[in-house]
């Protein structure tokens, strides 16, 4: 046992020294998480803020000016006045504005006497954004209109008020679900991509051959690789958690201890996948391609990171549910946003545990001290 620890320590020590000396590794281990945090945290947002709309007011009445102002006042929208539809259309084609609101001639008269209509055109290239924009425009218009009708008639025409309550994400901010997802992405990247590369490099450079003919056991070689990258992964995790808390002010509803515990479990899974890949192909180029294709891309695309797995065809969803990252993503978002909700924690935790055991078993099986 003492011998075992001594050898693991020797290998770990060596790995840390190499890690520290190869600047490319440091870049991947620490630089890339920071880049990702900034890109995802600040660059990507699916929420609408200050979308520019062209407003063509052909009436110039008190009400139409009010409408114009209230569109501008909404923090979702920005109103830009245009004299004619043609002028607005030109900017619309150049994508300077995302939509056009047309308040027709004789709007007031038509409104109080018969039916008035306001035309809204939005750029439909991105349908979700289009739909949301339409919704915001409609609600701004109808609110203003209700206020005005109270002024004029002293009452509101019968209407239904919908009281929304957004659970788990009070700010309705996509950052809230992207940043926890980022933790999954970074652990996958460090665990699988980096580990597959460094292990494949040992195979390729032949450094393992002499080590094999020493009293070292396969498990010790594996541990000597896992421990250092485990630490790097935890570092990336902590950077993300700190960024989430202080940069993006995302509340942590669940327990931090649980978040760390399950992140470690998932880190072990990611590391085992990386070691498995490198043991199977023993070639840096193929190992890196494989680890990107089998873990990084699916993690971005199929784990529910950005795209909701509930909205995809059954077969794609099935593939997504074969990946450990899907369960970790689910677990982490729940712990972050919903709190210690045990049914999900237990279900996902168990699945991840089974994956971890299976993958470690396979890795130990695959890493034989043999060149066969």
Give the residue carrying structure tokens 């008020």.
Answer: 161
Exactly one of 119, 242, 357, 358 binds other proteins (CB under 8 A); that residue is 119
Q: Which residues does 263 contact at the CB level (< 8 Å), separation at least 6? A: 183, 187, 234, 237, 332
154 binding other proteins? (CB under 8 A): no
77-81 and 99-103 as β-strands: parallel, antiparallel, unpaired?
Answer: unpaired
Task: Give the distance, in angstroms, between the CA of residue 101 and the centroid of all CA atoms in the same chain.
Answer: 33
75 binding other proteins? (CB under 8 A): no
Exactly one of 210, 246, 257, 322 binds other proteins (CB under 8 A); that residue is 210
Give the residue carrying structure tokens 């923090």.
Answer: 75
Helix crossing, 324-333 with 256-281: angle to 10°?
A: 170
Q: Which is nearer to other proteins, 244 or 268 (CB)?
A: 244
Exactly one of 84, 341, 350, 365 binds other proteins (CB under 8 A); that residue is 341
Q: How far apart are CA 187 and CA 250, in angstroms?
A: 19
277 binding other proteins? (CB under 8 A): no
Give the residue carrying structure tokens 């099935």.
Answer: 318
Q: How far apart are CA 258 and CA 264, in angstroms?
A: 10
Q: Kindly write out the interface string for residues 294-323 of this chain, putting x where it contacts other proteins by CB under 8 A and - elsewhere.
A: ---x---xx-x-xxx-xxxx--x---x---
151 binding other proteins? (CB under 8 A): no
The stretch among 38-46, 237-245, 262-270, 357-365 that binds other proteins (CB under 8 A) is 38-46
86 binding other proteins? (CB under 8 A): no
225 binding other proteins? (CB under 8 A): no
62 binding other proteins? (CB under 8 A): no
- Looking at the DSSP bridge assignments, the partners of residue 80 are 54
Nearest approach in angstroms of CB 32 to other proteins is 6
147 binding other proteins? (CB under 8 A): no
Q: How far apart are CA 335 and CA 337, in angstroms?
A: 6
Distances (CA, A) of 107 to 141, 146, 264: 13, 16, 63
Nearest approach in angstroms of CB 298 to other proteins is 8
14 binding other proteins? (CB under 8 A): yes
Exactly one of 84, 142, 143, 340 binds other proteins (CB under 8 A); that residue is 142
Q: Which is nearer to other proteins, 65 or 138 (CB)?
A: 138
Q: How far apart are CA 293 and CA 288, in angstroms?
A: 8
Q: Which is nearer to other proteins, 35 or 358 (CB)?
A: 35
Nearest approach in angstroms of CB 268 to other proteins is 24
251 binding other proteins? (CB under 8 A): no
Q: Which is nearer to other proteins, 112 or 361 (CB)?
A: 112
Q: How far apart are CA 188 and CA 272, in angstroms?
A: 11
138 binding other proteins? (CB under 8 A): yes
Q: How many residues bind other proteins (CB under 8 A)?
A: 133
73 φψ region: left (φ > 0), alpha (ψ -120 to 50), beta (else): alpha
176 binding other proteins? (CB under 8 A): yes
Please state the φ and ψ torsions of residue 45, each to the nearest 5 degrees: -150, 135
Q: Which is nearer to other proteins, 17 or 60 (CB)?
A: 17
H/E element, 61: none
Exactly one of 76, 177, 262, 355 binds other proteins (CB under 8 A); that residue is 177
Q: How far apart are CA 195 and CA 23, in angstroms?
A: 15
Nearest approach in angstroms of CB 239 to other proteins is 16
């Amino acid at each position: 046992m003492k011998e075992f620890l001594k050898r693991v320590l020797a290998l770990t020590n060596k790995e840390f020294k190499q890690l520290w000396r190869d600047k490319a590794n440091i870049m991947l281990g620490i630089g890339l998480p920071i880049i990702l945090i900034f890109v995802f945290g600040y660059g990507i947002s699916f929420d609408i803020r200050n979308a520019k709309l062209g407003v063509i007011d052909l009436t110039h009445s008190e009400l139409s000016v009010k409408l114009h102002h209230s569109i501008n006042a909404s923090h979702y929208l920005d109103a830009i006045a245009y004299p004619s539809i043609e002028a607005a259309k030109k900017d619309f084609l150049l994508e300077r504005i995302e939509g056009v609101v047309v308040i027709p001639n004789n709007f007031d008269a038509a409104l109080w006497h018969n039916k008035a209509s306001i035309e809204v055109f939005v750029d439909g290239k991105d349908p979700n954004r289009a739909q949301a924009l339409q919704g915001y425009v409609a609600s701004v218009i109808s609110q203003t209109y209700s206020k005005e009708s109270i002024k004029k008639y002293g009452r509101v025409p019968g209407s239904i008020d919908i009281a929304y309550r957004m659970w788990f994400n009070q700010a309705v901010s996509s950052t809230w679900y992207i940043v926890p997802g980022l933790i999954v992405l970074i652990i996958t990247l460090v665990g699988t991509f980096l580990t597959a590369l460094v292990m494949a490099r040992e195979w390729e450079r032949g450094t393992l051959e002499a080590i094999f003919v020493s009293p070292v056991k396969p498990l010790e070689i594996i541990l000597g690789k896992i421990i250092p990258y485990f630490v790097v992964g935890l570092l990336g995790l902590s950077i993300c958690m700190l960024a989430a808390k202080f940069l993006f002010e995302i509340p942590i509803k669940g327990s931090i201890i649980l978040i760390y515990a399950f992140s470690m479990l998932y880190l072990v899974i990611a590391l085992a996948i990386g070691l498995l890949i490198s043991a199977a192909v023993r070639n840096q180029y193929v190992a890196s391609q494989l680890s990107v294709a089998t873990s990084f891309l699916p993690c971005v695309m199929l784990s529910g990171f950005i795209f909701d797995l509930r909205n995809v065809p059954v077969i794609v969803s099935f593939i997504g549910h074969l990946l450990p990252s899907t369960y970790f993503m689910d677990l982490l978002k729940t712990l972050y946003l919903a709190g210690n909700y045990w049914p999900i924690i237990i279900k996902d935790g168990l699945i991840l545990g089974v994956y971890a055991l299976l993958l470690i078993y396979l890795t130990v099986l695959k890493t034989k001290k043999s060149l066969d």
